[in-house]
Chain A
């Protein structure tokens, strides 16, 4: 079945540093989504991307839908302690079921 390769698996950075993570797939997706999950809570949608090449920002977060439609990246600028959590990418195929394929997550730790 389809799989998403998300990297890096974990990151430990200093407050104020920029962060970059990405997802790649052998499948072509119609939609790329990025979520953040805090401990003990459900994932929260950060950014949704709908067109190849699309670059979208949400505050200090920026994500891009790759031109080949097989990859996406998420950047976080000037990290702060509350950025700590697990970040998931998810790809969606063209279907009325809305099913998503999730990456394995990137665990981010920020040192004050």
Chain B
């Protein structure tokens, strides 16, 4: 069966520091991968998605970037964090190359910027 792992679960970082959040998927190949941000009590905002290695699409202009160095690895990064980058970050995957595939989410990373 397929599983998705995100780490770390919780992160506290000072303003201006770099960021690297990692997400890996097991049990499937060539998945579509997604990064979302969720503000407290709010809906999910899609940040990036990827349909293949090295293919990244950005949904909103922001202080973050994403990379997919391997088929089942998706990384969210920043060179200098802002206070507004605080939030709950979720990684998700779906079956690649086909439509109508549900997304499945990791357990998220709670990021607090001080």
**Does B24 lie at the interface of the complex (its beta carbon under 8 Å from any beta carbon of A)?**
no
B interface, how many residues as a size bin?
A: 20 to 34
Q: How extensive is the interface on chain A, given as a class?
A: 20 to 34
> A74 contacts the other chain (Cβ, under 8 Å)?
no
A42 to B103, CA, bound (A): 11
* B41/A98 in contact, CB under 8 A: no
In the assembled complex, A97 has its CB within 8 A of some CB on chain B = yes
- Chain B nearest Cβ from A11, distance in angstroms: 14
Nearest A residue to B95 via CB reads A98
Q: Which of B41, B49, B90, B103 has the most CB of A within 10 A?
A: B103
Which residues on B are within 8 Å of A, measured CB to CB?
Answer: 6, 32, 34, 41-44, 46, 49, 51, 57, 90, 92, 94-108, 110
